Amino acid sequence: MSFASADAIRVLGAREHNLRNVSLDIPKNKITVFTGVSGSGKSSIVFDTIAIESQRQLYATFPAFVLNFLPRYERPHAEAIENLTAPVIIDQKAVGGGPRSTVGTMTDIYALIRALFARFGSPSTGLVHDYSFNTPQGMCPDCDGLGMVVTADPEKLVDRTKSLNEGAILLPGYGVGSGDWQLYGNSGRFDLDKKLADYTDAERHDLLHGSGGKVDLTFNKGTWKADYEGLADKFTRSRVKRDTSGLSEKTREQISKFLTDGVCPGCHGARLNSKALATEIDGRTIAEWTALQITDLLEVLGTVTDPAAYGLIEATRVALGRVADIGLGYLSLDRPTSTLSGGEGQRLKMIKHLGSTLVGMTYIFDEPSVGLHPRDVGRLNRMLEALRDKGNTVLVVEHDPDVIQIADHIVDVGPRAGVHGGEIVFEGTFEELRAADTLTGRGLRRTFAVKENFRRPTGELTVVGATAHNLKNVTATIPTGVLTAITGVAGSGKSSLIRDEFMRRYPESVFVDQSAIAASSRSTPATYLGLMDPIRKLFAKATGQAAGLFSFNSDGACKECGGRGVIITEVAYMDPVTTHCESCDGRRFSEDVLALTLRGKSIADVLELSAEDAVGFFTEKALNAKLHTMNEVGLNYLSLGQAMSTLSGGERQRIKLATQLQNTGTVYVLDEPTTGLHMSDVDTLLGLMDGLVERGNTVIVIEHNLDVVAHADWVIDLGPDGGKNGGEITCTGTPAELLEHPESLTGEYLRRYRSGAPAPA
Ligand code: ADP
Ligand code: ADP
Ligand code: ZN
Ligand code: ZN
């Protein structure tokens, strides 16, 4: 499709990653959704070409000294990218912000609340920064506004099964007879042969927290009188309170084993000092306001009747209303942003922009429906439309048909993944896509059926009396040997029940989520799956060289980049800057090593193979079987040597799964595995989960995707809503039973889905 030039962003000849000379026009001031199987090239177009070039051009307008503080981008591989507008990228990267960042500070709503307390609280100090836990005027002096303090963990300092003479004190440097040990051993307070477990409460307290009196310590050079001090207090004073920045990484790590985070005894977690906490509005302190769930805070706002406060109250109400509108009304303003999920973080970032009055921007979203129950997708759609209607261009990468259907324009990328993708296979409207002969078109025409035969459980795992976060003393029974789906709206308590309560009781279960794999810049699918050793041996055999040479961590590595393929420049205060290594052209190995081949391919050629091609290349049985697992989890398009750090969350999760496919008798917990998956790949995932169950495993899946829910043998639905209005089990049964359930929201959406009804407005 072609648009009058100024009305469209124009991309010509894009070749980033797998893109095959892609050219397209994207209408401005419209919502354009990019669809296609994962690995087809959607992100390569939207993030790696359009977003990067927009940022690059924007930064080019900044003065040089500012540029020193910004990440540098290399020009994307494309002939031309024209008519760009300023980009706002709203992805699922963790919100970050450190321990001082909360939902309130991130959305700027806390600033409004502080202003309210400064002006209308009583007794008020009148100064807005007196109510900030991030300023010296407002912060609690005991925890510096963190709400938490680090203290010695008495349980970890000692081994209760031993006596002092047997070495009960576990701290390094406290060996039996040492100077530090003598403070206790020579104190005369303890029976040195009595096991700590047999101590009276008074003795235990004396050992950890006692004080008073002197103890004689004997050294080679003579004796020394020292003040007695309990072990926990001494450790906290000398090791925890002291500035530890001068200690080595190793020492700090050693010390951290003996520490525990606890709520600050000074402010009980409120983060503020007593002066700030003395101020109240209608009997509540600012800490009590921010601890309320946002939907409740909205009601409390209504009780402030002072006409002078009207303007501030309205501004706060509008801002809080936006958070509630996007389905996050179950959060509280004091929630640390580090505890938010990727989807929650993304929706919060969105809210900030809805309040902005800048127009003419390009907003770029990465699968914003992640973590959203079908009920809340309609609200997300309204937000995307609101951004457009304010005069912005909105680009969305998305798999959920309910989001795709609001697009003004759709770009379908394919036909398949990796080398089989990289082309635009369709451009047009939702109706046209539904009729199109592409994987996405076919996916949209899929019919939906709840299965009829459910597997019989082999036993059950129970969670009794679960109370984490919002859970209301929940007892859940999870059948073994079958596939169980955990459903419910965002904030209903699914993760609290499974990730926190279930995993604590059944720690041998395998939790497969999308979090980063402790991946160094050198790890790749090949290293992660343990393919490198056998591959290196094959190369060694074929070439008569040492196997070690074929590792980019060894002598065989490119000297210039040390085997990274990129040159990494560390810059203070920001992400390191990476540039392509010209010497090896990103191939990571030295020229000599690249000249050595196995069946006509160098080690670098092999690392460039996609998993799919590698299966054909390596017929050796064990290697072939491992490579096959990558294909089984739908990562056939990934190359063996692609840096793990460049994988999406969904890809990371699937590669973790690939290492698990041979197990039996294990309990697996999968956290929203359809993230990043195209409709046509959902069938692959269902087959994979069936395979796991058939091999005698138990699979528990936290999921919103209705195809997955319908495919489960058993469903545990949490609700009825989010936050304090959730935390209960609303329904358990087979998907067929859920379909008939009168109250379950998930059941309601299953019914709508079955009848082919579109998402509600
Ligand atoms: P999608 O967004 O449709 O899932 P991507 O654009 O992420 O697809 O990926 C398209 C192809 O490019 C895939 O084969 C993928 O493995 C490859 N690719 C993506 N990112 C990188 C990267 N940083 N380095 C090398 N290859 C990449
Ligand atoms: P779901 O997985 O269904 O989206 P969660 O279990 O994540 O729901 O959340 C249930 C409730 O617990 C929500 O009110 C949420 O805000 C709260 N919650 C979840 N994690 C934390 C946390 N780390 N700290 C405080 N509250 C939390
Ligand atoms: Zn404190
Ligand atoms: Zn190099």
CA distance 149 to 143: 6
The model's pLDDT over 585-614, given as tens digits with 9 standing for 90+, comes to 988 999 999 999 999 999 999 999 999 999
Measured in angstroms, how far is the CA atom of residue 580 from the centroid of ligand 4? 8
Place of tokens 């203290």: 151
Q: What is the pLDDT of residues 2-27, one digit of tens each?
A: 555 679 999 999 999 999 999 999 99
pLDDT tens-digit series, residues 484-525 = 999 999 899 999 999 999 999 999 999 998 777 765 667 899
Probe residue for ligand 1, chosen from 11, 15, 17 as the CB with the greatest number of ligand atoms within 8 Å: 17
Cα(366)–Cα(369) distance, rounded to whole angstroms?
A: 9
On the question of pLDDT at 199 being above 90, the answer is: yes
Ligand 1 center from residue 418 Cα (angstroms): 7
- Helix orientation angle between 621-632 and 532-543, rounded to the nearest 10 degrees: 140
Which residue's CA is the nearest one to ligand 1's atom 18?
17
Highest-pLDDT range among 70-74, 354-358, 359-363, 656-660: 359-363
Q: Please name the residue whose Cα sits nearest to atom 17 of ligand 1.
A: 17
Q: Is the CB of 491 under 6 A from ligand 2?
A: yes
More confident residue, 231 or 152: 231
Helix (H/G/I), strand (E/B), else coil: 244: coil
> Which residue's alpha carbon is nearest to atom 23 within ligand 2?
339
Which range is least confidently modeled, 208-212, 339-343, 623-627?
339-343
Nearest CA to ligand 1 atom 23: 646
How far apart are the CA of 653 and the centre of ligand 4, in A? 29
Does residue 490's CB lie within 6 angstroms of at least one atom of ligand 2? yes
The set of protein residues with a Cβ atom below 6 angstroms from ligand 1 is: 17-18, 36, 38-44, 413, 418, 637-638, 642, 646
Does 251 have pLDDT greater than 80? no
Give how far the C-alpha of residue 696 lies from the chain's centroid of Cα atoms, to the nearest Å: 30
Q: Is 367 within 8 Å of 397 (Cβ atoms)? A: yes
pTM score, whole prediction: 0.83
Is the distance from the beta carbon of residue 330 to the nearest atom of ligand 2 less than 6 Å?
yes
Closest ligand by atom to 335 CA: 2
pLDDT digits (tens, 9 = 90+) for 547-580: 999 988 888 999 998 888 888 776 555 556 677 8
Of 156, 255, 256, whose CA–CA distance to 196 is shortest?
156
Residue 493 beta carbon below 6 angstroms from any ligand 2 atom: yes
Q: Is 339 in the pocket of ligand 2 (CB under 6 A)?
A: yes
The residue that leads in pLDDT, 564 or 621, is 621
Q: What is the CA radius of gyration of the chain?
A: 30
Closest CA to 412 of 400, 397, 402: 397
| CA nearest neighbour of 409 among 27, 38, 24, 8 | 27
331 lines ligand 2 (CB under 6 A): yes
Q: How far is 573 from 402, CA to CA, in rounded Å?
A: 41
Pocket probe for ligand 2: among 295, 330, 496, the residue whose CB has the most ligand atoms within 8 Å is 496
Q: Using the atom order of ligand 2, give the atom closest to the CA of residue 468.
A: 12
Q: Which ligand has the nearest atom to the CA of 273?
A: 3
Please report the pLDDT score of residue 652 as a whole number: 84
